[in-house]
Amino acid sequence: MPQIKKKLIIPICLLFCILTEVHAQRTRAPFTQNINRDSNKEEESVNIRLESGGNVPFHINSFRKYVEGDELHAWTRFALLIENLDPADTWRLEVLASDSELAGDYGRELDLHYISISANHFNVDSEDLDYFPVNELSDIPQTLVTGSGDGLFVITINYSIGKDPGNRLLGEYPDYYFVNLYFDLKQD
């Protein structure tokens, strides 16, 4: 059985400066894949659309944020349109980072484990999906959402950094850190 697989890349930016700012952009990036298993059957299709939150800026610009971390709730919104998939067929949305560390402009690096990601439903169809928080971001794929069958599933993504008491940012060097995130949609 051919597998559906779509990738969407989101840059994540971490800013430890007071004077410099990174502004989020509204981005629309459609990706579509059609698979024809049988010429008599309708084609399966997957459409991933980034509706908002294409850049993820964390502004760590106060002592409080160094100690308590920062969160961006419902920052990114995806629409997953899955058509002509058998109701018994399952799929999953995975997330992974492009590198094993966040790279800094001044040559410093920051561990990915400071960043956690979770997803929430945005529309009625996405309420029945299964959500799995990613407590420590990694460059290895981690499942964020699973579902089955057809539908228009709109989900939001939450990001946090330095919120876990064992992963405080206090003591890390100021820099403009960045990494790309890949969101992969796969059929099981």
Could you read off the pLDDT of 154-166 as tens digits, one per residue?
Answer: 999 999 999 988 8
Nearest alpha-carbon partner for 105 in 177, 45, 182, 162:
177
Count of beta carbons in the 10 Å neighbourhood of residue 96: 19
Asked if pLDDT for residue 25 goes beyond 80, the answer is no
The model's pTM is 0.79
What pLDDT, on the 0 to 100 scale, is given for residue 132? 96
- Give residue-wise pLDDT tens across range 27-85: 333 343 444 444 445 677 777 888 988 888 888 888 898 889 999 999 999 999 888 88
- Quick one: pLDDT band at residue 3, thresholds 50, 70, 90? low
Which residue pairs, CB below 8 angstroms and at least 24 apart, start in 142-145?
142/94, 142/95, 142/96, 143/92, 143/93, 143/94, 144/92, 144/93, 144/94, 144/95, 144/117, 144/118, 144/119, 144/183, 145/92, 145/93, 145/119
H or E stretch covering 53: none
Higher pLDDT, 24 or 122: 122
